[in-house]
Structure 1
Amino acid sequence: MSLVGPLLLATFLFCLGVYGIIARRNAVLVLISVELMLNAVNINLVAFQNLLYPGEPLFSGQIFALFIIAVAAAEVGVGLAIVFNLFRNRASVDVDDVDLMRW
């Protein structure tokens, strides 16, 4: 199996996520960009696991990808809670409007 296809896809997704974090002002779109970056890492994990152990039933790459998906789900839950609280207090989800998170 060649790694060119999965690595190009993962590189494209990761670069798209970095661009989304740098260029976007909306907090929800920043969270989506972080998810794109985590999915690119998942693609790399599975691709390299298949390269290192091509015919063996080792699922280490897939297991690490599942852990990353679980952590990403928790991150989205906490991130959306922060975004909802921000919208309730400031009536905007613009990242530039947040100057200080206070109690």
Structure 2
Amino acid sequence: MPYLCVSAVLFALGFAVVVTKKNLVLMLMGVEMMLNAVNINFAIFSKFDKSAEQGQIFSIFIMIVAAAEIAVGLAIALKVRKYYQEIDPLKLNSLRD
């Protein structure tokens, strides 16, 4: 199925962004890409289920969790930026200062 290939590519790109980028905001965007790939899978697999709404309900829950995750993640990134004057996760080895 072409949708599964698109989902796999999207998940791989999101994972590559999370692993390679050194910016917290870009890492959060990579996580969002991975969650969207999972949403595509749930929507496609719900097509083959007897109750088609089940996969779509999971997708809605994932979207809600993703919105909460990005709000909390951006709030943490802004606080870290305000306190340390940078958001490079490699340079933030101690948060106890």
The two structures have a TM-score, normalised by structure 1, of 0.88
- Count residues with an aligned counterpart: 97
Partner in structure 1 of residue 44 of structure 2? 47
- d(CA) in 2 for partners of 1:101 and 1:37? 27
Residues 61-89 of structure 1, C-alpha deviation per residue, up to 9 Å, x if partnerless?
11100000000111011100110011001
- Structure 2 spans left out of the alignment, 5+ residues: none
1:102 shift after superposition: 2.7
Q: Among the aligned pairs, what percent are the same residue?
A: 39
Task: Flag as ranges the 4+ runs of structure 1 deviating above 4 A.
Answer: none
Give 1:14's aligned amino acid.
F
Give me the CA root mean square deviation: 1.3
- d(CA) in 1 for partners of 2:82 and 2:92? 13
Residues 14-64 of structure 1, C-alpha deviation per residue, up to 9 Å, x if partnerless?
0001100110000000000000000000000010111234xx6x3111110
Partner in structure 2 of residue 86 of structure 1? 80
1:31 aligns with 2:28: yes
